[in-house]
Structure 1
Amino acid sequence: MSLSQTPPEHEYIAYIDESGDPGLSRVKGIDVNGASEWLILGAAVFRRQTEPKIEGWIRDITSGFRGHQKFGIHFADLNPAKRLLVCEKMRALPARYWVVASNKKNMKGYQNPWAAMFPSKNWFYCWMTRLLLERITHFVAQDSASRFGSPRFLKIVYSERGGISYEQMNAYYSWLKFKDIAGTQVLTLGELSWSVMDRRLLEVAAHNNRAGLHFADTVASAFFKACDFRDTGECDPQFAKLLEPRMGRFPDILDGRIAGYGVKIMPSFRGAQLTRDQEKIFKFYGYPRQWWAPGPD
């Protein structure tokens, strides 16, 4: 029997955006005119009851911008004072923020031998979303079990700036779920919590059409600025540090671990061969120690 086209009710919503690009054939740090050294995915996760307030929060934040004429926030277009204001406001919101950061120097020219097995040309971006959603769905499963006694669904909204489509992401997650059920995953350390996912709650939207994507943009871009010096000038971690109170933690308590959970670096902290300035933001969040994903729930 085919699924109804009507999506089930969701209790959580995750907005996902990226900073940097997924290019691997030439990478800065190795090649002079390569793609960005980093691809960073950021997410802002809200509970359903706060979802109607998101647009108002954006308007409240931008009301503090002198001469700001248009709706919304695009971190790259803001001066440092406005960036600080945005992150200071975001640290007080009832949300959780997540980051997966790939330093691509070790990925230059890499070809995924499994890429041909699912119909998506953007396999690297898809793989990064898998790492991000392993953590977010784990949090949602844990939080909904605590609040409701059983899993509750997560709605996922991607920014279309990643060059992905609904069909590509739907095919990728269907492929992953099949492999998880069959026990044939190549990466066995973590797994998505499928009990909180439904393909009818997957959406790809224009940045300006979903206010929540502006928060995801800020998360991704603040961390990009913290560890990039090839495209944006000196590394400046002050913005990403401000988000610390709302970064994902395991367990979800004040002293829960952020490194490896709310903030995940690929490859390993040591393997990335970062400069001292690039290391600062990851050390601030607890590296080199980190959380490791549990087995299937």
Structure 2
Amino acid sequence: MTKIAFLGLGAMGQRMAARLLSAGHDLTVWNRSPDVAAALVSHGAKLAIDPADAVKDAEIVFSMVRDDAASSDVWLSPESGALNALPEGAIAVECSTVSHGHIKQLSDAFDAAGRKLVDAPLAGSRPQAEQGQLIFLVGGETSNVEALGPLFSIMGSAVHHVGGTGAGSIVKLMVNGLFGVQLAVAAELLGFAKASGIDVAGASEAIGATPVCSPAVKLAIGAMQAGGFAPMFPIDLVEKDFGLLAQDAETLGTSLPLSAATRSVYAKAKEQGFAGDNITGVAQLYL
């Protein structure tokens, strides 16, 4: 049994924490809105009053929050941040989708405090989190990553150790960028087919049978036509992640013109009231 703290109980965090609890680990949880933790507490988790309280006895600490600002507050707040209370030898794991620049700042703070940090963002959504089928994209020292292996295996089906601390954040943004670009162009091409007057379903079936159509796009095209927009990866977060790509690209001195153009599509979808819809809801701009 490992003493684990889990910080952030949003749609993904709740499901990840539930799997750790079900596996028999000693779990302490914290969330900005404590009511969200009720189900976990009813099954044996302990509820902390703030991140510092949550981690004071922990061996492993996972964070799963919305963005750079939330992550910074969770770890680095002078009053309640987890870093100040993190025991020596504990491993902190940032699973949130945040900027590479932010992870570098966290890493510097952890190094200065003599504490261990791994960045382990993930690929997958709510169904994968519930089923333990997430894919972890991990940056950190090999010994720390290996120590986390048994816990990753409870929540996920694969772990890719892609480099030192910060590498996970880069690969995660690459994954989300590739996914977002594909679905944005798929949506506009469905609109193109509709405008031409051809059978959109037939055209989609034909494209899906070709090697140029990825499995993800094939599934998304079907959802777009069926109006399947229940939020798993909401457009609001898609646009946020493209913003992180732009932020990191500027810092690194490189250019991402296609990503920038794609971000504007999702921004338009937000403006038209689709922010809470799944990424497939971008099709509503065209269909």
Same fold per superposition (TM over 0.5) = no
Higher relative contact order (CA 8 A, sep 6+): 1
Question: Which TM-score applies when normalising by structure 2?
Answer: 0.28
Question: Which TM-score applies when normalising by structure 1?
Answer: 0.27
In terms of fraction of residues, the more helix-rich structure is 2
